[in-house]
Structure formats: structure tokens, C-alpha cells
Amino acid sequence: MICSRRIRAGIIALHMASATSAFALDSATIAASALSPDCLAYRVVGICYWLNCDFSGCSVRTSVKIRHYVPDAVVSSYSNAGENPWIEMRPLSLPNPTAAAGGDGTTNQGHENNLAKFKNADVIGHPAGVTFSSFANAFGHACTGAGTPFMPYLLSTLDTVAWRYNVPESVYPEALIPRTREIGNRTSFNLWGAVYPRGGFLHQSDDYKSGAVGAQRAGDIVTRRGQPHVYQPLLANASDGYWPAGELIEGNAATGKWQELTPTLSSSCAVFPHTDTQVQAQQGDYAWTLWRPYSCCRRSGQVFLGSVDFN
């Protein structure tokens, strides 16, 4: 049964790999995209120890500790307010008196060299839910992620002061000191942009890379507590036998990775920057699934004694 499920998942992944931008990004498409063995990266990583007591006495029991990624959220990065590429979620981020329109700093004249870009960003709970749980459980047992399906964690149209005016992050050391918190690096000529200030504006001639930087900034905000933004933290609390994902760090797959949803639907995950094919969205709208790593083990007793990792 497990083998057949994996085969079906592989077939789905192959179909996803051949998909292009000629589809509407809706909840059903996004949910199906979560059936990705590459992004899941399921592994047995250790052993958990539990103290189990009953009428006959106490004994130490063990359970397998596993680690895999969970599609916590869909992060959209798009040019114009109200044009989230995830169709059903557009009503959540319509233009308002403090956040209207958008777009780039250009009048589309061929002789211009204005590289100013602006991206709205939304972070919304991934819709896969039960679909993903069934898929992950086919490998053994699954860990619970922090995301709630369809829950908005950040809507940049409601985060006007921080996202559109960079207040107060424009004066943070991370924003003022070069080579601090950058996506890519200058020496390899692969600098996509800086994480700070975590707002919608940046200077970048490549629209795809602009969208990716906007998504990384939004993911950076929601995976931390106490940030000067209007948002809800996308974090779970650790408990016995459960180790949730922590802060997202750019370029570090051990903290999170990205699966492109549009303009190209991908069956694999990567971090920014990457060398995969980068298709420019005609309307400047992009979306990725943010996958984050979780570890857990089944409860096998009343008291958690600890765990040992194999490596």
C-alpha cells in the first residue's frame, strides 16, 4: 500500500514538473502541489525515549524520531494591490486608502534605467490540510506544522507603515550595513537583494528576483515574534517529542525552502538564490509555498525522557 501511494505521488510530481504558467492558481492546484516527495524530504533521524508506567510497573519505551518539511504557507509577491495570484485570496488584500495600486518606478520608456520595484506580499496558510497529512502519513507518521489552512499571517496592504514606508527598519543596522542579511552575494555576481528593510521596495532589474526577495522578506517576518509589523507569527511551540521549525534564514534550507507555484508550477524545492529556470510573470505576480522543517516522534509513555539523533 505504501509503495503504491509513493508511485502515485511520483506520477503527480512528474505531471507538476511539466506544468507551465498557463493555469489559474487556485486552492485545488496549490493543494495538489503539496504531494511532492522532494519537498517533503522525509527522514528517520533518531530515537525518542519514554517512561511508561502501568499497574505492573514502569518501563522505558522507544519510538522513532522523524524529520520532514511541512508546507506551512503560500507566500505571494505581486505588483498591484488586489492582484494576488491566488485567486480565492484576492478579497483579503484589496486596495485601501493607505495601500492603493503598486507597480514599478518606470513609465515603460525604452531609454529609461529606473530599477525601482515594488511588491505587495501576502502570507496565507497552505490549503493542503488533510491532503498533505494523508500523503506524509504514507511514509510512516507525520509532524504537524504551524500553519492553519487559509489563515492570513501577513497582508502587506494592512502593514502600510512598515511595508510601504520602511518605518522603522530603514534605520536598522541590517539595512545600513552592506553585506548584512543579503540574498546571494556580490562576489559571485548573484546578489538578488537584501532582506532589510523588510518592505516592498527594492532596486532590481529582474522582476522574478524582485518577487523572490519580497517573499523572503515576508517569510522572515512571520517566522519571528515581536517584529514591528502588522502580522501573526507563523510559529508553533515545542513540546515533548515535538520540535517545530524556527526562524527562516535566507539561503539556509535547514530553516525553510521554497516551491514555486506561479508563473511556473514546480515539483521541487530550493532556496533563494537558485539557478533553476526563472520565468518572468507577465503581470508581475509570483507565489511560492514555504516549506519548513519539523521533527517529532510518537508518544510511547507518560514521561518524555529525551531523544538521540543518529547523526
Q: What is the pLDDT of residues 196-243, one digit of tens each?
A: 999 999 998 899 999 999 999 999 999 999 999 999 999 999 999 999
CA atoms of 186 and 106, how far apart (whole Å): 25
Between 40 and 203, the more confident residue is 40
Using the predicted structure, report yes or no on whether residue 19 has a pLDDT greater than 60. no
Q: What confidence tens digit (pLDDT) does each residue in 101-157 have? A: 776 766 555 555 567 899 999 999 999 999 999 999 999 899 999 999 999 999 999
> 116 with 105: CB under 8 angstroms?
yes
Q: Quick check: 23 pLDDT over 90? A: no
Phi-psi map region of 241: left, alpha, beta (phi>0 left; psi -120 to 50 alpha): left
Q: Which residues does 87 contact at the CB level (< 8 Å), separation at least 6?
A: 24, 25, 26
- Please determine, for residue 182, whether its predicted confidence score (pLDDT) is greater than 60: yes
**Threshold 0.85, pTM exceeds:** yes
**Alpha-helical runs (H) found in 148-247:** 160-165, 173-176, 207-222
